[in-house]
Chains A and B, each alone.
Chain A
Amino acid sequence: MISANLLAVFYLISGVLFILALRGLSSPETSRQGNLFGIIGMFIAISVTIISVGNFSIGFLYLIILMIIGGLVGTFIAFKIPMTAMPELVAGFHSLVGLAAVFVAISAFLNPDVFNLGTKGNIKIASLIEMSLGASIGAITFTGSVIAFLKLRGIMSGSPITFFGQHYLNLMLGLILIGFIYYLCKTQIDTCFWIIIIISFLLGILLIVPIGGADMPVVISMLNSYSGWAAAGIGFTLENTALIITGALVGSSGAILSYIMCKGMNRSFFNVILGGWGVTDQTSSSGSKEQKPIKSGNADDAAFLMKNASSVIIVPGYGMAVAQAQHALREMVDVLKKNGVKVKYAIHPVAGRMPGHMNVLLAEANVPYDEVFELEEINNDFANCDVAYVIGANDVTNPVAKTDPQSPIYGMPILDVEKSKSVLFVKRSLSPGYAGIDNDLFYRDNTLMLFADAKKMTEEIIKNL
């Protein structure tokens, strides 16, 4: 046994180590050390908790066995998962945190005396509120992440599912939820607590179904944030500093990421959450579509253009991830560099399905991170560049965002691809992107469309170089 004060000091230490873990991510050099701090912090938190409970009976044996089983599963997943599947992995992991929070809250509700929360049927009001909030946010995180996972994995259609009165239904469920929390505090009836959890599960599903595939970066960040707030809620219930600190860190981290992602699309947070972007536009744009001339070419043309260029900027997008083209792309760049061509990569904040998705894929393909640039850093360079190679990106290059106030993506910051001397646009067909709008870039004089799978086209180009 250790004293409560000493225990609190240890929890504080792990909290500080977690802060350092995040701090390390400010640059790739310090990031690995930061991750180590995180692991040490977790180790300290778990060990002192086990010692403080001081119960080394048969239950302790089960605890170790279960941790080993869970650990093995986690380790297996961590090493087997392909980098392209990172978004669904993160969504899946969020769901586990959410469900764990729900379970801990249930356990605290059923057996409040071990957490010093009063006795069954007579739990402190403050603890009841914290407990219900923790359980409810955890439950929303769980089902929301499951839906996000299914959408990202392609098991469920990525297109937004909307129906009449959806937002009113959500609002009503939210109000009912608050009503039940109030009622639970007054009466301490078990059923209330179960209903709170069930409504929250339902709410998690309803909140995420109307949000479409390309808005996933916002959703994942948001769920990241929720999992933090759930942990903080449980932290208040259990009067545990480590959980409160961590919950606050994770909660604000997710919130900032959501904000950055929304800004990358020039949309408000509520606009994304309320969902259903591009559903109505799709019909109107396809109806009025006229045949505009486009230039299409083959790998040979592309290779010729790039070989004779002095600088090339690569613009990767979600299509690159789908086609797993990152390795082929790096090989192509290697050949170009051997021919004396200067190559850089330009990454839009919302490219891919989660924050930083493209950076991880390029890093996986051994692209040095100092060749990869963010939108603000590189946007002026397009004017001086000979060839822009757009691979799997679409809406984030659409000049309409700057010219047409009617367009749904008007005002969204875009990569100024159209300013480069020529644009090579690898795409499987002329179909519009996620936002359901035609990309003006397809019809520009300096654009050469390469209709093919991103990976196959890139490999073809390598052969022709």
Chain B
Amino acid sequence: MEIDPFIFRLSIFILSIFIGYYVVWSVTPSLHTPLMSVTNAISSVIIIGAIIAALAGESENIFDTANIFGFLAIILAAVNIFGGFLVTQRMLAMYKKKIDKK
């Protein structure tokens, strides 16, 4: 009997939830806002689905409805990726220790 690939993906999923659980509990409360903006940025990795959707199919026929939805998703995800990472960077740059100040 072969194992369904779905089971492998499910295993990855469940184990990642546990990793997420332990990693996020170790995040210091003062960085909870950057945590939200960075998780937002990485969840835009959905852009890879959008890229496949947009570029799939015959090259002459790139403006199928399916492709257009892919292109739309690309714009949305791109806003998020750049916005999310950069705003996180901007916030993190503000966290300073007492000693650095003087």
Check if A3 is an interface residue, CB within 8 A of chain B: no
Check if A399 is an interface residue, CB within 8 A of chain B: no
In which size bucket is the chain B interface?
35 or more
Contacts of B21 in A (CB 8 A): 252, 256
* A-B pairs with beta carbons under 8 A, tally: 377
Check if A73 is an interface residue, CB within 8 A of chain B: yes
Contacts of B45 in A (CB 8 A): 14, 18, 41-42, 45, 231, 242-243, 246
- Number of A residues with CB within 8 Å of any CB on chain B: 114
Interface string of B61-73 (1 = CB under 8 A from A): 0101111011111
Contacts of B27 in A (CB 8 A): 22, 25-26
Contacts of A317 in B (CB 8 A): none
The answer to whether A58 and B62 have CB atoms under 8 Å apart is: yes
The answer to whether A110 and B69 have CB atoms under 8 Å apart is: yes
Check if B93 is an interface residue, CB within 8 A of chain A: yes
Check if A253 is an interface residue, CB within 8 A of chain B: yes
Contacts of B69 in A (CB 8 A): 103-104, 106-107, 110
Stretch of A91-99, A166-174, A390-398, A443-451 with 4 or more beta carbons under 8 angstroms from chain B: A91-99
Label chain A's interface by main secondary structure: helix
Stretch of A353-361, A424-432, A434-442 with 4 or more beta carbons under 8 angstroms from chain B: A353-361
A71 CA / B90 CA spacing, docked (Å): 16
A240 CA / B36 CA spacing, docked (Å): 23
Interface residues of A in 1-54 (CB under 8 A from B): 14-15, 18-19, 21-23, 25-28, 31-32, 34-35, 38-39, 41-42, 45-46, 49-50, 53
Nearest B residue to A54 via CB reads: B55
The answer to whether A244 and B28 have CB atoms under 8 Å apart is: no
Greatest chain B CB density within 10 A among A35, A69, A228 is at A35
Query: What's the minimum C-beta distance from B76 to chain A, rounded to whole angstroms?
Result: 4
Nearest A residue to B85 via CB reads: A39
Can you list 17 A-B pairs with a CB-CB distance of less than 8 A?
A31-B31, A71-B79, A71-B82, A73-B82, A90-B36, A90-B40, A108-B53, A114-B57, A234-B46, A236-B6, A238-B52, A243-B45, A244-B9, A355-B36, A356-B30, A360-B34, A370-B98
